[in-house]
């Protein structure tokens, strides 16, 4: 059972997580916050569900997570012009927050896989799904959904990338309250950095991305492209070098060849 008091004591933010909803069960925390009729209209609201019955991942995949063992939560961001002009970078702020929080609390190196997976010893421990809705041409609601495999002991089934959990990699049971507070504390800091110094944010992110310089393949819209992972630019796009030409990749699944 998630202890709200223990979480609250460690939360050190101005607005992220100051409105907090805890649910035993929900279809998906992202779907809940994306729904304008959910009654949630406060910037920074966080929804945590112990169990999701329709947890969703990128590219219409399903996000499986053992109930009460992990962290499955979403953060609502509202009407922030400067931030929304850089919506692509919210992915990087979120994945960096998870990686840095794991490193700070468990002294284990966390690596990042473009665009937003967090890896421990080459396996995925966290994924992020960002969704948004607009009114006219204006972005109105942005929902940042984060799944972290925390205390799950094993993973059954077929995965597009091998999964792991913090417990599997460290051998220790993790206090989820402390980890969630740390992630939200860092997320608020990195969100601000999008506005003040996006180069510094991307430099921190790239420090943890071990694929830069490697031969990779990118699957984008059912097309597979091969090349060298040259860099990630300050807007978060992957720069793929194919025969001396740089291609800007906006979305996709990356694997090392």
Containing 111, the helix (H) or strand (E) segment is: strand 111-113
Nearest residue (CB) to ligand BTN, 234 versus 254: 254
From 141-149, 220-228, 231-239, 243-251, give the range in contact with ligand BTN by CB under 6 A: 141-149
Minimum CB separation of residue 189 from ligand BTN in Å reads 21
In the stretch 223-242, what mask flags binding to ligand BTN with x, by CB under 6 A? --------------------
Of 28, 40, 97, 186, the residue at the interface with ligand BTN (CB under 6 A) is: 28
Q: Which parts of the chain fold into alpha helices (H)?
A: 4-10, 29-34, 81-85, 87-106, 166-170, 176-196, 198-207
Residue 121 phi/psi, 5-degree rounding, is 45, 45
Minimum CB separation of residue 62 from ligand BTN in Å reads 9
Coil/strand/helix, residue 103: helix
DSSP 250: -
Per rule CB under 6 A, is residue 125 in the interface with ligand BTN? no
Place of tokens 């969704």: 131
Nearest residue (CB) to ligand BTN, 57 versus 67: 57
* Contact status, residue 217 vs residue 254, Cβ threshold 8 Å: yes
DSSP 213: T
Nearest residue (CB) to ligand BTN, 17 versus 55: 55
Per rule CB under 6 A, is residue 127 in the interface with ligand BTN? yes
From 50-58, 87-95, 187-195, 229-237, give the range in contact with ligand BTN by CB under 6 A: 50-58
Per rule CB under 6 A, is residue 56 in the interface with ligand BTN? yes
Of 69, 72, 151, 164, the residue at the interface with ligand BTN (CB under 6 A) is: 72
Nearest residue (CB) to ligand BTN, 86 versus 116: 116
CA angle 35, 39, 44 (to 5 degrees): 85
**Could you give the CA distance from residue 18 to residue 21 in angstroms, rounded to a whole number?**
10
Q: Which residue is nearest to ligand BTN (CB)?
A: 127
Q: What are the CA-CA distances from residue 204 to residues 29, 83, 143, 207 (Å)?
A: 28, 18, 23, 5
Minimum CB separation of residue 161 from ligand BTN in Å reads 8
**Could you give the CA distance from residue 205 to residue 212 in angstroms, rounded to a whole number?**
11
Of 17, 44, 55, 115, the residue at the interface with ligand BTN (CB under 6 A) is: 55
Question: DSSP of 100-143, one letter per residue?
Answer: HHHHHHH----EEETTTEEEETTEEEEEEEEEEEEETTEEEEEE
Residues that bind ligand BTN (CB under 6 A): 28-30, 52, 55-58, 61, 63, 72-74, 117, 127-129, 145-147
């Amino acid at each position: 059972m998630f202890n709200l008091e223990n979480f609250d004591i460690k939360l050190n933010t101005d607005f992220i997580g100051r409105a907090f909803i805890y649910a035993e069960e929900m279809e998906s925390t992202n779907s809940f916050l994306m729904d304008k009729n959910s009654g949630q209209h406060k910037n920074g609201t966080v929804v945590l569900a112990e169990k999701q019955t329709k947890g969703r991942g990128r590219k219409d995949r399903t996000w499986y997570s053992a109930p009460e063992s992990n962290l499955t939560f979403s953060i609502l961001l509202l009407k922030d012009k400067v931030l929304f002009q850089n919506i692509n970078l919210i992915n990087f702020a979120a994945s960096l927050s998870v990686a840095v929080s794991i490193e700070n609390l468990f002294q284990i190196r966390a690596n990042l896989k473009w665009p937003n997976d967090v890896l421990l010893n080459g396996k995925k421990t966290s994924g992020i799904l960002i969704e948004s809705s607009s009114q006219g041409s204006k972005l109105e609601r942005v929902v940042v959904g984060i799944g972290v495999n925390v205390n799950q002991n094993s993973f059954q089934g077929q995965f597009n990338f091998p999964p792991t959990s913090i417990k599997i990699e460290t051998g220790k049971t993790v206090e989820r309250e402390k980890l969630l507070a740390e992630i939200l504390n860092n997320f608020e800091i990195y969100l601000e950095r999008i506005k003040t110094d996006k180069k510094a944010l991307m430099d921190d992110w790239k420090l943890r991305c071990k694929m830069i310089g490697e031969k990779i393949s990118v699957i984008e819209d059912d097309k597979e492209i091969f090349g060298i992972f040259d860099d990630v630019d300050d807007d978060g796009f992957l720069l793929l070098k194919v025969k001396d030409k740089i291609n800007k990749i906006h979305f996709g699944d990356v694997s090392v060849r």
